[in-house]
Amino acid sequence: MFAVISRILYPNWLSIAFFTKGWGLFFSEEIYNISVFIGIVFLWHYLIAGFAVTSVLTNIAIAIGTRRYLAGGLCTSSKKLTGQTVIITGANGGIGKETARDMCRRGANVILACRDVRKAEAAKLDIQAEGGSVQVRKLDLSSLQSVRDFASGIISDNIKVHILINNAGVMMCPYMETTEGFEIQMGTNHLGHFLLTNLLLPQMKHGQPARIISLSSLAHIGGKLDLNDLNNKKSYDKIQAYCNSKIANVLFTRQLAKQLSGTNIQVFSVHPGLVYSNLGRYLMPQFVSDYLYCVMQKTTLEGAQTTIYCATDAHQHSEMYFSDCAVGWA
């Protein structure tokens, strides 16, 4: 249902390009999901509808079209990023890792900014074969001191940053607090990235084109920020807290665009879609997510497409909010 609502709000899926481009990537990603859908078609015909060839083939085509619809937009840009420095938070897995892999493929120098250095080093070994260069730096967004330390390292090494991707996040978890006592979702998803972005801005004002991409969510439409209770301590609701952190991402991007007007920096907030990743571990049992709910979700590579699009071909729009590789609605 969430994916359907998303696609209704973002009508770019009605374009011809949406259904004509990227089929090679789609089929390489969708083997499991398409197999499940086709299996359902055959079961339906075996138990109820009978095996009329035309009817079976029609329903298989509908099944594949449905998965193409749910998979969302695909970035078809061939733009190279040779020599550019890309910082990606939370890049040791999920959407972040797939984004890092793509950036490396384009020749960028990628910095994996991660809390778990061991996992990040493992991701580095997997990614660096794609080309470009990869390095790992410690960044724990739930600690503002860690954010300051990370930024200080980038500044002291005089690294010019061309693309900053605020990707890391937590979703709908039980009440926890950051090192400084902020609710963990607001602290990690927004406040940590807010500080990181502001500290790195001097490294992005170097005269060359630069981009800041913050991952938000369609869930921002449910956000209701109470500046007197950002921690939601009065009555903690993990879903509401997540929505609040996501609308904060959108509002931050809008304000940042005003501040950076006339500079070399473009800013974007991104709705990646409903993605099968570890981010949803607090929402449902793992086996349900792994074998059932996943057929309604994007793969991590599909979920990374809008981020990749905003890092390459997208142009800052008055709304600055993108979904499925096109301007969205916030």
Active site members: 242
Range of the domain at 47: 24-67
Q: Positive or negative, the Cα torsion across 226, 227, 228, 233?
A: positive
Let me know if residue 268 belongs to a domain: yes
Instruction: Tell whether 38 and 122 lie within a shared domain.
Output: no
Which pLDDT score is estimated for 277? 62
Does the predicted model carry a pTM greater than 0.85? yes
In a domain, 5, yes or no: no
Residue 130 lies in a domain: yes
Tokens matching residue 294: 């996943």
Domain boundary, last residue among 67, 94, 124: 67
Q: Quick check: is 205 in a domain? A: yes
Is position 72 within any domain? Answer: no
Q: What is the CATH number of the domain that holds 261?
A: 3.40.50.720
Same structural domain, 203 and 226: yes
Q: Are residues 60 and 208 in the same domain?
A: no
For residues 230 and 302, membership in a common domain is answered with yes
One domain for residues 56 and 128? no
For residue 233 the two structure tokens come to 């301590």
Query: Does residue 185 form part of some domain?
Result: yes
Q: Which of 41, 67, 93 is the last residue of a domain?
A: 67
> Could you write out the DSSP letters of every residue in 115-146?
S-HHHHHHHHHHHGGGSSEEEEEE--TT-HHH
Q: Do 157 and 38 share a structural domain?
A: no
58 plus 160 within the same structural domain:
no
pLDDT at 112: 98
Same domain, residue pair 52 and 143: no
Q: Residue-wise pLDDT tens for the chain (330 aa)?
A: 555 565 556 556 666 666 677 777 788 888 888 888 888 888 888 888 787 888 889 988 988 888 888 888 888 899 999 999 999 999 999 999 999 999 999 999 999 999 999 999 999 999 988 777 999 999 999 999 999 999 999 999 999 999 999 999 999 889 999 999 999 999 999 999 999 999 999 999 998 999 999 999 989 999 888 888 878 777 889 999 999 999 999 999 999 999 999 999 999 999 998 887 665 555 555 555 555 666 678 889 999 999 999 999 999 988 789 998 888 888
- Residues 87, 38 share a domain: no
CA 216 to chain centre: 8
Rounded Cα distance between 307 and 298, Å, is 14
Is the domain of 53 the same as that of 193? no
pLDDT value for 200 = 98
- Are 185 and 42 found together in one domain? no
Last residue of a domain, one of 13, 36, 67: 67
Q: Read off the DSSP letter of residue 177.
A: B
Q: Do the strands 326-327 and 321-323 form a parallel or antiparallel pair, or are they unpaired?
A: antiparallel
Residue 255 covered by a domain: yes
* pLDDT at residue 26, as a whole number: 83
Same domain for 189 and 59: no
Domain count, the chain: 2
For residue 158, with 0-12 CB atoms within 10 Å meaning exposed, 13-18 middle and 19 or more buried, which class applies? exposed
What are the Cα distances from residue 133, in Å, to 103, 107, 126, 130, 268? 10, 8, 12, 9, 25
